[in-house]
Structure 1
Amino acid sequence: MIANIPDDNLIESQLSRLSTLASLQTLSGSARQVQNPTLFALSWRLLKMRSFRAMAGHLLSWKFGAACAAACALSMGSSAQAALVSNGLTGNTEFDGWVDLKAGTLTTADLTSGFGSNESGSGDGVLTRTSGSHYPAGSSLYSFSGNSTFEVSDTSALSDVNTVVFSILSWPNGESAMSIAPTLNFNGGTQAIAADYLGTQSYGTIDFGGPVETIAYTFQWDLSSIGDVIGSYDIDWGQIVHAGVLALQLESSDTFSLSSALAPAAAPEPGSVVLAGLGVLGMVGAFRRRRAET
């Protein structure tokens, strides 16, 4: 008789919490780690198997399994960075970030005249609302009455920009957060270049009359094939009504490399493999013992 094994509902509740923890980007002070959800997804599937629930009794405890999974996901790490998204760009880089975009941090006048980047480690990037009615509300830039257009600019960028990565932390109104996709101009021109890469990632929820999912939208431009030396640039986009803007990030480099926020997940480090291997071996041993007992 196996004792102290939680029922299916409790198992699913605990694993759901772990899966959510692994898929979100967890902020600790100014450092941020992106957790890899691969092992959690595997554990989720295994725990939904009826046979695994029986085998779990031969492990130290179901809590050990959860702790092992959490440790493994943390060791499948990533670089920490004072940023909304960890891009891991190579070469010489420049960073600008805008956080706490709400009342008390800036005013509507700041937004329309140009609000400088305020994240620690930022350069001299500027955010400007170029049209519309988004304003600093209680939790974000928000509009009740219509769409808005925005621009972020860096007029004293690196000596030759070869890639730019731009991230918007927002929540969608229905299926979208943007009315106009971001486009990039350089050296004072109006090239309106569309991004080459796009990725999205869930970033948790905020309380807006109930939990509302927030999403980090990341766009990257590969400018390495442009013959001109790029010394300044701006990015324009449109924000849809009732879709808030919580934070922004702009990062550039004089060398193109694909942002790690957009690249496939890296292979697990050796420590992660050991943890995963221990779990598999334990399961195999428990299964063999169970067969022997029957």
Structure 2
Amino acid sequence: MIHHRLRPFATPLLAAACFALAGSAYASTTHSAFDDIEDSVATDGFNNLTAARITATQLAAGIASNSETEGGAILRRTSGGAYPASSGLYQFAGNGSTFETVVSDAVDGLTSIVFQTYINVSTGSNGIYGVLAQNNLPRLSFNGGAQFLLSSSQASENLGYTDFFTGEFVASDPNNPNHLTFTWNLASLGVTVPVDSFRITFATDNHAQSLAFQVDQLVAAPVPEPQTAALLLGGMAVITLVARRRTRQH
């Protein structure tokens, strides 16, 4: 029958077309609270920021990503007294801390950068804002410059969490927007030059509990070459033909 002859040919044809369209993009998260980022081609995650894994001295010197799919980012505390505690970074006294995440070799064709933070705060009567205070918001500089660009979009989410000190689970609270996502779309920000390196600077205040950070580098999804599009359409046509013939026989 015709469909027996077509089946071995159709599947590799369609698979080849799909592979050609997929390119190198993937989605990856480095903490359970974080989202997969579509079209990400490099992910740097910093989690388990605890005294069991790192020291305050190492944090000040700069620590590398501890995720599996990394883009070469370094997380560094540049001022203040935030230190690795039992569950993450914490600061009891002082004027807060400043940090930077540096990527010295950005991916080719970089079009967007996404920065996710997981910091337990209390924006109600306690007035603990983490990176949400205006002076603490993440800012982007690139190619060794000092542009300090605010993100082109920002999203927040209130997640339940396990308290540092009591070990008890705390339910989601609107005063605790602890999962934040900042996106820099370079085109919308008027960046017209290739970005070869970049730095994200941000700050946290006292009693904010920092559990994890993640940086994703994105490139625009490629437009299929004419021959690739034709290959995909041909593969789909073959699959459709096989399906129709099998339907008629049953």
* TM-score, normalised with respect to structure 1: 0.56
Aligned-residue offset at 1:116: 0.5
Contact kept, 8 Å, 1:173 with 1:240, in 2: the verdict is no
Secondary structure of 1:152's aligned partner? strand
Secondary structure of 2:57's aligned partner? helix
Distance across 2 between alignment mates of 1:88 and 1:149? 26
Q: Are 1:142 and 2:55 an aligned pair?
A: no
Contact kept, 8 Å, 2:29 with 2:36, in 1: the verdict is no
Equivalent position to 1:198, from 154, 165, 170: 154
**Change in 2 beyond 3 A, CA 1:80/1:204:** farther
Secondary structure of 2:160's aligned partner? strand
- Residue aligning to 2:68: 120
Summarize the alignment of residues 75-94 of structure 1 with structure 2, pairs less than 5 Å apart: 81-84=28-31, 85-90=34-39, 93-94=41-42
Aligned residues between the structures: 178
**Structure 2 residues not aligned, in runs of 5+:** 1-25, 222-250
- Residue aligning to 2:130: 177
- Residues 29-52 of structure 1 show CA distances to partners (whole Å, capped at 9, x for unaligned) of xxxxxxxxxxxxxxxxxxxxxxxx
Per mean C-alpha deviation after superposition, the further-off stretch among 154-163 and 140-149 is 154-163
- Residues 70-89 of structure 1 show CA distances to partners (whole Å, capped at 9, x for unaligned) of xxxxxxxxx97433323432
Contact kept, 8 Å, 1:82 with 1:121, in 2: the verdict is no
- Residue aligning to 2:101: 152
Summarize the alignment of residues 191-270 of structure 1 with structure 2, pairs less than 5 Å apart: 191-207=147-163, 208-209=165-166, 210-212=168-170, 215-224=178-187, 225-255=190-220
Aligned-residue offset at 1:229: 0.6
Please provide the CA RMSD for this pair: 2.2
Secondary structure of 1:86's aligned partner? coil
- Residue aligning to 1:162: 111
- Residues 236-281 of structure 1 show CA distances to partners (whole Å, capped at 9, x for unaligned) of 011010001101100011228xxxxxxxxxxxxxxxxxxxxxxxxx
Distance across 1 between alignment mates of 2:27 and 2:107? 23
Aligned-residue offset at 1:159: 1.8
- Residues 77-105 of structure 1 show CA distances to partners (whole Å, capped at 9, x for unaligned) of xx974333234322x61110011011011
The structure richer in helix per residue is 1
Identity %: 30
Aligned-residue offset at 1:211: 4.0
Distance across 1 between alignment mates of 2:37 and 2:74? 23
